[in-house]
């Protein structure tokens, strides 16, 4: 469990979402390699399935009840951000939820709370990787 943090001590929620996108992508890539995929083409195609707004919105649903107060606050601020440019292939709700999910991941990464981050990502991906996560 990490300490409650002051929002001013963090980068903007959009910067956190940017970091969270990269950190989540690394998690997914590591798990795909651990599953035995070796060819770049196969790895890239498989990874794309896990980093869509719709998929990340479902992942958020799996962890939403487990979020701590400061994680919920970062999610809320990212979800409500006015700076979102929704892609054509995602609903507004899914894109906002995915952005919030990424911001929470980014916050935990920024704070260096890898234990909490790993716990939430393992739960978010539980059905995807059948519990074979170690990140």
Longest dimension (CA), the chain: 43
135 belongs to a structural domain: no
5 belongs to a structural domain: no
Question: pTM score, two decimals?
Answer: 0.86
Q: How confident is the model at residue 106 (pLDDT cuts 50, 70, 90)?
A: very high
7 belongs to a structural domain: no
Compute the distance between CA of residue 44 and CA of residue 49 in angstroms, rounded to an integer. 9
pLDDT of residue 9: 80
Give the count of domains, the chain.
Answer: 1
Provide mean pLDDT across the span 21-42: 93
Asked if pLDDT for residue 85 goes beyond 80, the answer is no
More confident residue, 91 or 6: 91
What domain range includes position 59? 12-129
125 belongs to a structural domain: yes
1 belongs to a structural domain: no
Which residue in the list 21, 70, 113, 122 is annotated as catalytic?
21
Name the range with the highest mean pLDDT among 45-59, 76-90, 106-120. Answer: 106-120
Q: Is 21 a catalytic residue?
A: yes
């Amino acid at each position: 469990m990490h300490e409650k943090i002051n929002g001013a001590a963090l980068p903007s929620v959009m910067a956190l979402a940017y970091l969270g996108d990269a950190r989540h992508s690394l998690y997914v890539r590591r798990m795909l390699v651990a599953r035995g995929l070796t060819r770049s083409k196969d790895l890239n195609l498989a990874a794309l399935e896990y980093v869509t707004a719709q998929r990340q919105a479902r992942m958020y649903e799996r962890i939403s009840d487990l979020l701590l107060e400061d994680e919920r606050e970062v999610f809320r601020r990212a979800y409500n951000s006015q700076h979102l440019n929704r892609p054509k292939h995602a609903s507004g709700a899914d894109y906002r939820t995915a952005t919030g999910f990424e911001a929470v991941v980014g916050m935990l990464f920024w704070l260096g709370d890898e234990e909490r981050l790993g716990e939430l990502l393992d739960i978010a991906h539980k059905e995807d990787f059948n519990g074979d996560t170690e990140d």
